[in-house]
Amino acid sequence: MADLLLAGATIPPLTAADPGDASAWTPGIYYALPPIGRAPREADPEYDERDVAFAGVDGVGTKRLGFRGRDIDAELVFVAADAASARAARDALLSSLRAGRFSATVPGGSARPSCRLRRGGFRDVRSFTLGGRYCLLCAAGARQLALS
């Protein structure tokens, strides 16, 4: 499965953390897959549209104006030995996302430049234990603001 690229960080799917035997899962940042969470996704682009009508012509046309954005959502799993390590990894990624605009690429998608975290766009969802490791599930929501 393809990786999620977020602000220069390569984030593989959670299945990459599974060693395939009874040993502990590999610490790191991964994107969630069902049943733990939803896979990364991007919404259709949004445009301003204006109805256009002409005198003597029945019906209404639509004029598409400029690009107004696109939402990109991902649920990330921070796998670590303990809660403090998972939160430290979360805080490091969060600081890079807050630093300014970044590029995001969902698995199987195209690079989307000029993204910013949405207001309230990063939150802890829940914590759990997986493969003997502490896991912190976080929801990240970004918005692509421009096409370049």
Q: Per residue in 35-57, is it b (16+ CB within 10 Å) or e — as a string?
A: ebbebbebeeeeeeeeeeeeeee
Least confident segment among 16-25, 39-48, 75-84: 16-25
| Predicted local confidence at residue 40, as pLDDT | 97
pLDDT of residue 58 exceeding 80, the answer is: yes
| Predicted local confidence at residue 60, as pLDDT | 86
| Residue among 24, 26, 25, 33 nearest 2 (CA) | 33
| Predicted local confidence at residue 95, as pLDDT | 94
- 108 conformational bin, left if phi > 0, alpha if psi -120 to 50, beta if neither: left
Q: Are 26 and 14 in contact (CB under 8 A)?
A: no
Cα separation, 130 vs 18, in Å, equals: 9
Rounded mean pLDDT of the chain? 94
Cβ neighbours of residue 30 under 8 Å, at least 6 residues apart? 11, 12, 13, 14, 16, 17, 76, 77, 79
Written as six digits, the tokens of 78 are 């921070």
| Residue among 122, 148, 147 nearest 137 (CA) | 122
- Give the global pTM: 0.88
What stretches of the chain show up as alpha helix (H) in DSSP? 83-98
Written as six digits, the tokens of 70 are 């696109």
